[in-house]
């Protein structure tokens, strides 16, 4: 079965970029909290994509997957902690 990430599709400079949020990381993050809305997940993915673009990281799956540590940092920045 594996992780089963949630995928979000964006267009960057004419190219498609897919940001994934680890399904396992989401389950751990939401434990004891209300579930994140689709809009909140899109906010996470968009902010992560922006950060990766600013850092000059390649827009590939290895750099566009949000895992536990990144999810917690983004939640703090978005005030969703």
59 in a structural domain: yes
56 in a structural domain: yes
Q: Measure the CA–CA gap between 27 and 36, rounded to whole angstroms.
A: 10
Interior CA angle at 10 toward 46 and 78, to 5°? 10
Please identify every stretch of the chain with a pLDDT value under 70, giving residue numbers as ranges.
1
Give per-residue pLDDT as tens, 29-49: 999 999 999 999 999 999 999
10 in a structural domain: yes
Looking at residue 62, what is its pLDDT? Answer: 82
1 in a structural domain: no
27 in a structural domain: yes
Structure tokens at 50: 């922006």
Q: Domain of 64?
A: 6-77
Domain count within the chain:
1
Looking at residue 46, what is its pLDDT? Answer: 97
Q: Say whether 73 sits in a helix, a strand or coil.
A: helix
Looking at residue 3, what is its pLDDT? Answer: 86
Looking at residue 2, what is its pLDDT? Answer: 74
Looking at residue 1, what is its pLDDT? Answer: 55
């Amino acid at each position: 079965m594996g992780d089963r990430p949630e995928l979000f599709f964006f267009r960057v400079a004419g190219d498609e970029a897919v940001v994934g949020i680890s399904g396992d990381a989401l389950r751990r993050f939401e434990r004891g909290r209300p579930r994140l809305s689709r809009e909140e997940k899109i906010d996470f993915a968009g902010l992560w994509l922006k950060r990766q673009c600013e850092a000059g990281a390649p827009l590939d799956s290895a750099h566009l997957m949000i895992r536990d540590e990144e999810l917690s940092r983004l939640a703090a920045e978005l005030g969703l902690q």
